[in-house]
Structure 1
Amino acid sequence: MRVSILTREYPPFIYGGAGVHVGQLVPQLRKFTDSVDVQCMGAEREGATAHAEDWPEGANAAIRTIGADVSMAAAIPEVDVIHGHTWYVAFAGLLASVYQDKPLVVTAHSLEPDRPWKVEQLGGGYHVSSWAEKTAYEHASAVIAVSEAMVPAIRNAYPNVDPARIHVVKNGIDPEEFKPDHDTDVIEGLGVDLSKPIVTFVGRITRQKGLIHLVRAAQDFDPDTQVLLLAGAPDTPEIAAEFDKAFADLNATRSGVTWVQEMLPRSSVRQVLTHSTVFACPSIYEPLGIVNLEAMACELPVVASAVGGIPEVVVDGETGLLVPYDPAKEKDAAFIENFEKTFAEKINTITRDPELAERMGKAGRERCIAEFSWEKIAQETVGVYEAAIRTHEESKKK
């Protein structure tokens, strides 16, 4: 079986969960297929064919992505299955599938209809991204959901997708890459006090990741608890202004707050997670959440919002604690205030009890090893490819 993987991100240039997913999946797929071609976007790199998002010059970013998609579709060799990851490559997958008359598989890392805040980020391009994703999903011979929670989300967003074409293959973790690292050079270099509790966040400053809620919740953390944010630049000026104010307010009321804006190497993140007390994931939307698996693999307990696929990763009371969140109430000030206060209470529960933190951390790593190996995920993905080929051939007979 010959496979082409289409992705915007590919190592070493990755910034989100989809990039991590593809970077881990490709080497494992090579064990179970005849060949794996990789098409990505951005700078040239080893192991992939890269396409620049620079045409048409001066156009909206989403339009330039479509331009790169055309280049990508033209570069795909003859294969048996085309597998696209995220809306960025949806049009490339669609075009190549039709041109080569081969099945398209798409993985639902997220869904554009469930991320309306991207209007701020993409402007008119949001209509383009939504159209590209919808069209690819409805054409695809198979849709992979990265959690059970994504199945009803896909059916709700795209009711024209045949439910029989939706398959669940969860995200994974490499427990050899993410494992406890007891060196201290990186964590000490960040200026934190290893004798005091550390609450760590890793992620982008977007509406989706809910970092603003964590910063507000931190006002109610115990006084000796430190806050360590590994968070890159905000998506939009509006988000930047909101976050900057909340961060300044937090800094004015407590010490031990550190914001690391540059993206650290994954090996450095691993050490930070190892020496943290609890990982905070206040996402308001999360199909699964690889970042939680990374924390758990480093024996770190997690406090997370109970949205999307997070409850399929974090077992409440066993590997961490979950906080209920209702996306429909995001404009309800009283609900949001209660969510943030509850989040702080859950954090304090763990930071006050080192034995509980250690027990949850070890249980988390055990769960990662037992349930989320990339080799298992690759085998399941190949099974989806086989189903997609059958579906595609059957559809041609009708």
Structure 2
Amino acid sequence: MTTAKEKPLRIALVSEHASPLAALGGADAGGQNVHVARLAETLADHGHRVTVYTRRDSPQLSERTPLRHGVDVHHVPAGPPRAVPKDELLPCMGMFAACLSAQWAAERPDVVHSHFWMSGLATLQAAQERGLPFLHTYHALGTVKKRHQGEADTSPGERIPCETAIGTACDRIVATCRDEVEELAAMLVPSDRISVVPCGVDPQVFSPEGPQWRRPGRRPLLVQVGRLVPRKGAALSVAALARVPGAELVVAGGPSGAELEADAEVQRLRRLASEYGVADRVHLTGGLPREDVPPLLRAADAVLCPAEYEPFGIVPLEAMSCGTPVVATAVGGQRDTVVHGDTGLLVPPDDADALAEAVRTLLAMPDRGRRFGVAGRRRVLAKYCWARVVAQTEEHYRQVLAARAPALSSAAAPASP
């Protein structure tokens, strides 16, 4: 909560493609949507007034939609009012920036926090026009994506130079993990501009207590949750399952209903499952309602997070908060969140044998898995609950405002005769 000496702030969060109102599990809807929504809600719990600016991607959306008391979502008319892949949105960012600038001339926020590089690009233009302090969170970096995806990377060529420009122009970078700090240093972004604040999880929603998903059978249950894109490593989980006799795998993510079977990644995973002889033990649910995710994580004997690369990775935290052991690749933010041998096991990326061996170890030693679950829950409560994450974020907002105060006072003072 804000103290008597710290007035509530008017905070603008900019998230051009990741609306806090979006359904999760699609190609461009995942951890950033959750992060922005929970950041906004918890800032409002602390007494602040928050507006989230996101692109209008449907003609049915009104200009403003309340998310909850203290939080409005402003749908910015930039580009066609329909879903557009985020890597195709760069031409819309000039209009997005112009709308932000006009809006902030009429309703001036105290501080702006942009999320993802295109939001940062639009915010940079609008914030400079209006003399506003702004902080930036990347959520993912173009250098990392290019390194791992190569020619398959669909990001605009302007992405990496724009990310560098944002990093050198904003008042503060709020990085989510140590791996990101190292990447930014390699981009020659000054380290004194960077602070690390992790993503958070709600330990009341993601709790060991509560209903559990109905298991598809009596076998040990492995679970993977997240966007159904190749880099998330569901194919690796299927390959590992062939080396874990008797276990079943539930993969939750991707489109729902009739669209599921037409999805290219779903078709690829089904082919792989058939080739490995595990088709009867792989269950693809499609995207789940958010309320169904905690019961699924609680029911698992282990949650698999086998991404090729992961800027942060919220699923390990959600699993740990549910008291479920995690087997994750040692990449990105997962190196920070999962403590090897304490809250779960870390394995090399792209190594189905190592993933399978870690899973077999956990399933053979259920007492150890339970200890991992208890330790994971303890770690979430100590470091990753939203109240703590937002308190750290708010502290950086006030530091930026305090650093700006002398310049603003000087600009407002009358000239000496």
TM-score interval (norm. to shorter): 0.7 to 0.9
- Cα shift at 1:387: 2.5
State the Cα deviation string for residues 251-281 of structure 1 (Å, max 9, x = none).
35022210112x2112101111111110000
Does 1:26 find its partner at 2:35? no
Does 1:3 find its partner at 2:11? yes
Is the 2:101–2:130 contact (alpha carbons within 8 Å) kept by the matching residues of 1? Answer: no
Letter in 1 for 2:41: P
Letter in 2 for 1:212: A
Instruction: Say if 1:258 and 1:36 are closer, same or farther in 2 by CA, change over 3 A.
Output: same
In the alignment, which of 235, 258, 264 is matched to residue 283 of structure 2?
258
Give the Cα separation in 1 of the matches to 2:205 and 2:343. 20
- Cα shift at 1:246: 4.6
Alignment partner, residue 62 of structure 1:
90
Alignment partner, residue 275 of structure 1:
299
Is the 1:56–1:63 contact (alpha carbons within 8 Å) kept by the matching residues of 2? Answer: no
Alignment partner, residue 53 of structure 2:
39
The runs of 5 or more residues in structure 2 that have no matched partner are 1-8, 67-71, 257-262, 411-417
Alignment partner, residue 155 of structure 1:
185
- Cα shift at 1:132: 3.5
Instruction: Say if 1:67 and 1:219 are closer, same or farther in 2 by CA, change over 3 A.
Output: farther
Is the 2:93–2:122 contact (alpha carbons within 8 Å) kept by the matching residues of 1? Answer: no
Give the Cα separation in 1 of the matches to 2:94 and 2:296. 38
Give the secondary-structure state (helix, strand or coil) at the position aligned to 2:195.
Answer: strand
Give the Cα separation in 2 of the matches to 1:357 and 1:78. 51
Is the 1:204–1:231 contact (alpha carbons within 8 Å) kept by the matching residues of 2? Answer: yes
Is the 1:93–1:136 contact (alpha carbons within 8 Å) kept by the matching residues of 2? Answer: no
Give the Cα separation in 2 of the matches to 1:127 and 1:218. 38
State percent identity of aligned pairs. 27
Give the Cα separation in 2 of the matches to 1:220 and 1:70. 55
Letter in 1 for 2:129: Y
Give the Cα separation in 2 of the matches to 1:257 and 1:181. 26
In the alignment, which of 177, 183, 192 is matched to residue 211 of structure 2?
183
- Cα shift at 1:394: 6.7
Alignment partner, residue 71 of structure 1:
99
How many residues align? The count is: 370
Give the secondary-structure state (helix, strand or coil) at the position aligned to 2:185.
Answer: helix
- Cα shift at 1:33: 5.6
Does 1:345 find its partner at 2:375? no
Give the Cα separation in 2 of the matches to 1:169 and 1:100. 27
The runs of 5 or more residues in structure 1 that have no matched partner are 235-239, 326-335
Is the 1:119–1:126 contact (alpha carbons within 8 Å) kept by the matching residues of 2? Answer: no
Is the 1:205–1:232 contact (alpha carbons within 8 Å) kept by the matching residues of 2? Answer: yes
Alignment partner, residue 330 of structure 1:
none
Letter in 1 for 2:355: F
Does 1:134 find its partner at 2:143? no
In the alignment, which of 308, 317, 338 is matched to residue 293 of structure 1?
317
- Cα shift at 1:121: 5.8
Is the 2:238–2:282 contact (alpha carbons within 8 Å) kept by the matching residues of 1? Answer: no
Does 1:218 find its partner at 2:241? yes
- Cα shift at 1:207: 4.1
Instruction: Say if 1:67 and 1:121 are closer, same or farther in 2 by CA, change over 3 A.
Output: farther
State the Cα deviation string for residues 119-139 of structure 1 (Å, max 9, x = none).
6463xx522433443322221
Give the Cα separation in 2 of the matches to 1:133 and 1:233. 30
Give the Cα separation in 2 of the matches to 1:21 and 1:2. 19
- Cα shift at 1:141: 0.8
Instruction: Say if 1:251 and 1:149 are closer, same or farther in 2 by CA, change over 3 A.
Output: same
Give the Cα separation in 1 of the matches to 2:360 and 2:253. 22
